[in-house]
Amino acid sequence: MQNGIIQIFKAQKGYLQSRQLNSRAQQYHLKKLVDQGDVVMVKRGLYKHVQLAVDNDWVEVCRIVPNGYLCLFSAWYFYELTTHVPASYYMAIPNKAKIVLPAYPPVKIYYWSSEYYSLGNENLKSNEGIISIYNIEKSVCDAIRFRNKVGKEMTSEVLKSYLKRTDRNIDVLLKYSRLLRIEKILNQHMEVLL
């Protein structure tokens, strides 16, 4: 029976959700693995096998926050638009979603309306799993949108770093800025930098 649980962990890249267990025997064996220290409970209903789970914090946070997308400081750091290392993982989720977070890793949740939440989402595949994140253009627009909360220096650093990239797509950036109703402000910032 324990091998069946191990197979689930292997198939899920080292993770298991308690709802995947079909019997009390499997629940017993999972508890035994936790007691032995081979498995840790990440949060209620989500378990991580210490030896089988890949060590990728981005993937782990995306598993902890289902339907969440890395945003703001986390996205800027991921895309190397800033040198600031965030102390928490910043995740956006739908406005009415409910989530229970573990004590670690530290996660800050932002509840966004459907128009902001659904714009620019990407699911990047890595060897370790899926990283749910807003694309780079949406992330730059978020720096402009939240400029008063994140500060002028951060907004300027993100925009400057983006404009230096060879893979930038100004057309998409302008399209998102229109949809987010920040086109005029973005143009003002770009005029100053260019």
Name the CA radius of gyration of the chain, rounded. 20
Domain residue limits, the chain: 2-49, 58-193
How far apart, in whole angstroms, are the C-alpha atoms of residue 91 and residue 72?
Answer: 8
pLDDT tens-digit profile of 160-191? 999 999 999 999 999 999 999 999 999 888 87
How far apart, in whole angstroms, are the C-alpha atoms of residue 41 and residue 48?
Answer: 6
Kindly report which listed range (38-52, 73-87, 105-119) carries the lowest average pLDDT score.
38-52
Element (H, E) at 159: helix 152-164
Tokens 């951060």 — which residue? 154
Instruction: Find out whether 74 and 40 touch, Cβ atoms under 8 Å.
Output: no
Query: Which pTM value belongs to this model?
Result: 0.75
